[in-house]
Amino acid sequence: MSLKAPTEIVSAVALAPVVRSWGTVWADLFKARLTTLVLITTAVGFHFGSVEGLGGATFWHAMLGTGLLAAGASALNQYWEREVDAKMQRTAKRPLPSGEIEPGTALSVGVALSIAGMLDLTFFVNPLTGLLGMLTLASYVFVYTPLKRVTTLNTLIGAVPGALPPLMGWTAATGGLGAGGWALFTLLFFWQLPHFMAIAWIYREDYARGGFRMLPVIDPQGSRTGATAVRHTVALLAFSLSPVALGLAGRWYAACALVLGLAFLGCAIAFAAQMSRQSARRLFFASILYLPIVLGVLVADKTRVVHSRNLSISDTVPAVAGAPIAPPLSLQPVQPNHP
């Protein structure tokens, strides 16, 4: 009986396939982190369009429908790209290339979730939000996904479905398109370009193996990639102040957006000047810090501004046609709660 050396045992353990839990596998198929971001931005859009803030049946149906749609789109995207994903190191362990989920299962689940999401948005929220959801799905799965192997413009085109969720949240709350919804759309749209340029530069060899025509793949010196990141970060800085111009947020948000936007721009300029993996990582981490902080301050400052306006209106608006001015809520007599 021969005994294996300790190094052979360690090697065998290291080469053994890692069995993931079913929850982890399905979360990977549905791109759980991306879907979570979609839901957060949808909630922000709803918050800005709603007078009463978050909550209520319409809000929860908007979240449910958008979540189903995002999960279904992710499954369909991975079904479409399963053969390409197998060629790339960063995607080879996804559920379909690894064999953890059968392609037919991913296709069936993706279609079912997408249909369920669109029906929920259309009939339990409003038809406009359902239409925007359909546009998001179609542009992501049937336009952006195939164009990734055709043109470097795919990133710009893919930023459209990525920016639609907050507009969907706005239409879910208001029933129509409005300047506030478009302001959130532009913020998300321009944020995606420097964010993705950093990712694409770090993984440009991997994208080349997969046959994707990302800008860094055909731009070995990085001059166009760096310029694209800087240009869209400048646009982000300008458009991030549009909620203030529209009266949706106040001075706290303006200061935050300006400071963070300038810091983000500084990282983009450093990235364009150096075109190194280290500068790309700094730009990437700057992007993932920028978005939640800006959105959080935007939500907080919107609440403060709206509340202060409500108080000023109740305190200062004169009586109309001889009607008496109602006293502040805290001074009104409490009515008994019995018949």
pLDDT digits (tens, 9 = 90+) for 32-76: 999 999 999 999 999 999 887 788 999 999 999 999 999 999 999
Question: Which residues of the chain does CATH 1.20.120 include?
Answer: 178-312
pLDDT of residue 20: 86
Average pLDDT of the residues in 114-118: 97
Contact 78, 85 (CB under 8 A): yes
Q: Residue 52: its pLDDT value, please?
A: 78
- Angstrom distance (rounded) from CA 140 to CA 114: 12
**Average pLDDT along the chain:** 87
Q: How far apart are CA 212 and CA 80, in angstroms?
A: 13
Task: Output the CA–CA distances (angstroms, integers) from residue 193 to 187, 208, 227, 271, in the order listed.
Answer: 11, 19, 11, 13
pLDDT in tens, 183-227: 999 999 999 999 999 999 999 999 999 999 999 999 999 999 999
Phi, psi of 64 (to 5 degrees): -65, -50
pLDDT (tens digit, 9 = 90+) per residue, 22-35?
999 999 999 999 99
Residue 7 above 70 pLDDT? no
* 241 pLDDT higher than 70: yes
Q: What is the pLDDT of residue 32?
A: 95
Which is nearest to 73 in space by CA: 130, 122, 103, 115? 115
At 314, the pLDDT band (50, 70, 90 cuts) reads: very low
Counting residues of the chain whose pLDDT is more than 90, the rounded percentage is 77
Q: Give the pair of three-digit tokens for residue 32.
A: 């759980």
Reported confidence tier of residue 1, pLDDT bands at 50, 70, 90: very low
Mean pLDDT, residues 304-312: 51
Predicted confidence band of residue 303 (pLDDT cuts 50, 70, 90): low
DSSP string of 18-70?
PPPPHHHHHHHHTTHHHHHHHHHHHHHHHHHH-SS-S-SHHHHHHHHHHHHHH
Is 104 exposed, middle or buried, given 0-12, 13-18 or 19+ CB atoms closer than 10 A? exposed
307 band by pLDDT with thresholds 50, 70 and 90 = low
**HSE (CB half, 13 Å, CA atoms) of 169?**
28
Residue type, 332: Q
Element (H, E) at 14: helix 6-15
C-alpha–C-alpha distance, residues 221 and 288, integer Å = 25
CATH class of the region 21-176 = mainly alpha
- Residues 237 and 178 sit within 8 Å (Cβ to Cβ): no
Domain 178-312, CATH: 1.20.120
Helix (H, G, I), strand (E, B) or coil at 333: coil
Torsion of CA 200, 203, 209, 213, to 10 degrees: 10
The burial class, CB within 10 Å (0-12 / 13-18 / 19+), for 118 is: buried
Cα separation, 10 vs 16, in Å, equals 10
State yes or no: pLDDT of 99 exceeds 90. Answer: yes
pLDDT of residue 4: 54
What's residue 17's pLDDT?
58
What's the whole-number mean pLDDT along residues 247-274? 96
